Structure 1
Amino acid sequence: MTVKKKRILASTLFVLISFMCMAQVTPPPPGPSPAPGLPIDGGVLFGMIFALFYGVRKVMINNKR
């Protein structure tokens, strides 16, 4: 393949890619954000408590060995 053919092929591919990018549908804008100052979800609190108990258990098991 000659250099001229490679340039033509590359140019054609760039043009086709730009047409495909323009054909993409843009997503709708995001909805309104929640009000500031909302409480932390219960799942996060449960996860933190579980992690604390799991960590204490691991430390106690490692200290017995």
Structure 2
Amino acid sequence: MTVQNKRILASVLFVLISFACFAQDPPPPPGPPPGLPIDGGVLMGIIFALFYGVRKLLIKNKNH
């Protein structure tokens, strides 16, 4: 094969590949993100943090 024939063959292959790429269906759009409910765990964490903070303050004030 001559260099010119190789270039023509490569050009034809690139055109055919581009047609094959456009012929495919686009991917479906992503669904909504999963819902992350905020339930009792967050409330219990806040309550624990408040009790822990008050306890630390009481212990600190008792030592001074």
Report TM bin, short chain.
0.5 to 0.7
TM superposition score normalised by structure 2:
0.53
RMSD after superposition:
2.0
Structure possessing the higher radius of gyration over alpha carbons: 2
Aligned to 1:7: 7
CA deviations 1:8-60 (Å, max 9, x no partner) are 0000000000000000101210110112467xxxxxxxxxxxxxxxxxxxxxx
| Aligned residue pair count | 39
CA distance in 2, matches of 1:14, 1:31: 34
Gaps of 5+ in 2: 39-64
TM superposition score normalised by structure 1:
0.52
Gaps of 5+ in 1: 39-65
- Percent identity over the alignment is 68
Q: Report which of the two has the higher share of helix.
A: 2
Moved over 4 A (4+): none
Aligned to 1:28: 28
